[in-house]
A and B are shown apart, each in its own frame.
Chain A
């Protein structure tokens, strides 16, 4: 540990020297809104952890690219048995963890077994549910056996929750993450910033940047000021869409508008009367004018969706017509359900503006059909406690940012409590299907089923909005997973 610290000190001293030598063109300061609660992507749901560490510090066997495709990561290649049950991964040689130890099959075995263990605190244990065995054949070969074919397995392994860690450094991972990535963790000033430095012993293509600083700026006004004053070089996930036209008009900046995996939905407590009545949920869906929400809350950034699926996914089915804006129909449906005079419910709104502003618009739209939604603004901690864990809510607005997360509808315990055995069976089938065409068909069925059951109010796909100085190149425009991959970012000359 002592050596590690002194090496860090030396490294940062060197980096200060290099900073003086050739100005700012190998340094970058990237701002984002949320600070990670700790630095272990494998033991928390907080997306902010991945936003800092995914691909930069930690890598998995496979990985996401900026366009959403899944490519090889630490695994050089793999072989899938004919029955789809046995995956044999060949690892890259000469991969070193940041503490100098070698990354080998033992580490992969350790990481995956740790993630799928009974006492694991992994936020996405479902990703590993089908694994029955992980065996390290030799230093560079890992064999993973599944209980059933899983067409999503390589995709699952690309998640931040499936990154490879070392047993030697797992103790301190929450404060001092040791990964295999192109950047090494250097320093964390809580409440302010996290610093990374380039890993010169990286096994793959080395990063261009030498010093990376992640700044955490939660307040939208401060975010605007920090970019305008050029205190930060880029702001990923810029929180105030209303300010983007100003950046677009300013030659100092570039604005990146992409898509996230965030389905923004009016989550509905399917177990709480009157929402246990599908007619009421249908009425709710027809009472909502999506375009008004996209225009009013997001200043036009965002794509309306009619189901819980990302529109940029090839398997997406446009079902917005099923729940088209029709307040008269909504009133009629409410009357049929026995609520001709409407009813009262609660609407919990977490801090992001899509929720706070969108919530005000939705409350106004629901009022038009007689539904009185009492708005309660809550902080994230309170939202997790009351809504997500406590399930004590009528309606709430939240963006589900995990990629391909339609599977949450198969979990009747999930906070919106949709319990449909037919859908659960459909998901089981989907997971067992590897044929791409059959998968697409099943995914279409799944989208139609939740859309037809009006499980939640489907609003829009959250846009990924980033602002960067004009010279920054290589930033991800889209956010196929929560990540700020800086390994290919550089400054234009």
Chain B
């Protein structure tokens, strides 16, 4: 294992652990307001201080991790679930009208800045975590479709594919049984990176008020709420900011590390 991978795993584990633990325990109820105790700086009772409603920031960060991870996870799932079959299909029918149709549709989605798509979707269907998931998921589709198609095409030229064809397997079966396992390492790396982008996108959408709606905590909305308070209570902005940085950096390092780790050539070179 390389250093990037280890650091990445540790940082990501912190967020994932926080999210998981939040299901069974948080130091305080994350929605319980205690207005007389508002805007406390970090102290022994409230480890990360309290926000403008006197809510415990530590608890909110933990539950916010859950929101971020859940949104990003499902969004990446949508992207992989639709993008991978489309990419495999396009590669299997390389040069055909199906290939053209899939890839040009992908180009169309890709050409839109992802955040603009997200804002468009949440504007049409209303703000909320579910629509944020759909929005982020949709812009994940072309990413996976392209990666899969690009990686699958050279594999289609290989001899073992020819052998599989001779054995009478159809294109769909070859795609699933022979192509997919050979592009899996690329997909895992891509998924990790998309996961971190998903967390950023969720934070961005929540920041502009289009993500999870109150009282569901979200790191992005915590940042937005902190905006006018930053000069009197900077920890309100710094803490969710750091939570986002740690998680996104962790996932990116993990993605980098995994790429090296899963690539047979670099793995040999490093050990």
Contact = CB atoms under 8 A, between A and B. Distances in A.
A302 to B, nearest CB: 13
Given A296-B53, A360-B215, A375-B213, A224 B35 contact: no
Given A296-B33, A296-B35, A220 B126 contact: no
A368 to B, nearest CB: 10
Interface residues of B, number: 21
The 10 closest A-B CB pairs, nearest first, are A240-B228, A296-B35, A220-B228, A292-B35, A360-B214, A221-B227, A295-B35, A364-B33, A375-B214, A375-B213
Contacts of A360: 53, 214-215
A296 B35 CA distance: 6
B52 A377 contact: no
Given A242-B52, A246-B232, 4 more contacts: A221-B230, A295-B38, A363-B215, A364-B32
A347 B147 CA distance: 43
A243 interface: yes
B229 interface: yes
B127 interface: yes
B31 interface: yes
By secondary structure, the A interface counts as helix
A376 B210 CA distance: 10
A361 interface: yes
Given A242-B232, A364-B31, A377 B227 contact: no
A148 interface: no
A431 B108 CA distance: 63
Contacts of A374: 213
Contacts of B52: 242, 296, 357
B45 interface: no
Nearest to A292: B35
Contact of B38 (A296, A363, A376): A296
Interface in A181-237: 220-221, 224
B96 interface: no
A367 interface: yes
Contacts of B127: 376-377
Contacts of B213: 374-377
Contacts, number: 58
Contacts of A353: 228
Contacts of B227: 220-221
A242 B126 contact: no
Contacts of A224: 228, 231
B214 A242 contact: no
A302 B214 CA distance: 24
11 contacts: A220-B228, A221-B230, A224-B228, A224-B231, A240-B228, A242-B232, A296-B35, A296-B53, A359-B214, A360-B214, A375-B213
B209 interface: yes
Contacts of A363: 214-215
By secondary structure, the B interface counts as loop
A221 B228 contact: yes
Nearest to B216: A375
A246 B231 contact: yes
B221 to A, nearest CB: 10
Nearest to B230: A221
Nearest to A220: B228
B209 A377 contact: yes
Nearest to A353: B228
Contacts of A375: 213-215
A296 to B, nearest CB: 4
Contacts of B229: 242
Contacts of B126: 376
Contact of B53 (A361, A367, A376): A361
Interface string B214-228: 110000000000011
Contacts of B53: 296, 357, 360-361, 364
Contacts of B33: 292, 296, 361, 364
Contacts of B31: 364, 367
A243 B213 CA distance: 25
B67 to A, nearest CB: 15
Nearest to A378: B127
Contacts of A357: 52-53
A182 B54 CA distance: 48
Interface in A342-386: 353, 357, 359-361, 363-364, 367, 374-377
Interface in A366-414: 367, 374-377
A353 B209 CA distance: 13
Interface in A281-310: 292, 295-296
A446 B227 CA distance: 42
B114 to A, nearest CB: 22
A398 to B, nearest CB: 18
B66 to A, nearest CB: 19
B237 to A, nearest CB: 11
A376 B33 CA distance: 19
A361 B35 CA distance: 9
Contacts of B209: 377
Contacts of A245: 232
A353 to B, nearest CB: 8
A245 B205 CA distance: 31
Interface string A441-458: 000000000000000000
A438 B22 CA distance: 61
B214 A243 contact: no
Interface in B126-184: 126-127
B98 to A, nearest CB: 41
A292 B227 CA distance: 21
A268 to B, nearest CB: 20
Nearest to A240: B228
B90 to A, nearest CB: 40
A224 B229 CA distance: 10
Contacts of A376: 126-127, 213
A327 B31 CA distance: 17
A98 to B, nearest CB: 39
B215 A364 contact: yes
A299 to B, nearest CB: 8
A84 to B, nearest CB: 50
